[in-house]
Amino acid sequence: MTLFTKKFLKVPNIKFLSMFREIGRNAFVDWLIILIVNVSVAVVLMFGGLYLYWQVSTGNVTVYHSPTKINKKIFDIKDLERVINLYQAKVDNSDQAKMGYRGPSDPSL
């Protein structure tokens, strides 16, 4: 029992109203606030998820469909040919790089 009588192992006894004055000064109060906030956020998210699951499983959730139609973009043949040509140029450069350097020979050799 002498373990809990040491000063550095004691849990501080802080009143609730004086706790707000200790924010930023007392590490115990800071960690207590962090713990309370995290637990409350986790509980809210858990209940929100359970409520959403219940709504979906009972069929009460309706899907919103926008009344406007999505315009289909008709692409131009010139744009397609330009993209094909750019891709072919990249393929040609890649093939030349794979074959090795084919520049002018060194005249000093």
Q: pTM value?
A: 0.45
* pLDDT value of position 9: 59
Tens of pLDDT along 62-105?
777 777 777 777 778 888 899 999 999 999 988 888 887 766 77
**What per-residue string of b and e applies to 50-81 under the rule 16 or more CB within 10 Å gives b?**
eeeeeeeeeeeeeeeeeeeeeeeeeeeeeeee
Tens of pLDDT along 1-28?
565 566 665 666 677 667 777 788 778 7
* pLDDT value of position 5: 63
